[in-house]
Amino acid sequence: MLILTRRAGESLYIGDQVKVTIMELKGNQVRVGIDAPTTMKIYREEIYRQILEENQQAAQGIGVDLPESLGGFTKGAQPEASVVRSLKTSRTISPKESKGNRKD
């Protein structure tokens, strides 16, 4: 794991397409801005883990045993309805929206 120190207003790049900016520090919270292509999926960790778990359960329900290395994702797999509901609550924002000071 790479560990970096950044101050509010400072950024870092992941590859050529993802820019992560520290927007604000409030007590023990850090507000992070992410500029990435709209085709790139970005999830909070708890949502991502839920997707993995529900995909694994769905695969077991139809008799498919997914290897741990796939993390529950298979090419062309459709998420269960509960995963789709979770994703609807985790909104992807466009780079245009991310430049403003929006509240969740």
Q: What is the pLDDT of residues 63-96, one digit of tens each?
A: 666 566 555 554 455 555 544 444 444 445 555 5
Asked if residue 29 and residue 54 are part of one domain, the reply reads: no
29 in any annotated domain: yes
The pLDDT tens digits of the residues spanning 23-51 come to 999 999 999 999 999 999 999 999 999 99
Where in the sequence is the domain holding 84, given as residue range(s)? 43-92
Is 103 inside any structural domain? no
Whether residue 12 has pLDDT greater than 50: yes
Torsions phi, psi of 29, nearest 5?
-115, 145
What's the mean pLDDT in 4-19? 96
* Residue 49 shares a structural domain with residue 77: yes
The answer to whether position 98 is within a domain reads no
The structural domain count of the chain equals 2
**pLDDT of the residue at 82:** 47
Q: Look up the pTM and report it.
A: 0.54
Cα separation, 102 vs 96, in Å, equals 11
My answer on whether 48 and 79 are in the same domain is: yes
| Residue 36 CA to its chain's centroid (Å) | 11
Which long-range contacts does 94-98 make (Cβ < 8 Å, 24+ apart)?
A: 94/38, 95/35, 95/36, 95/38, 98/33, 98/34, 98/35
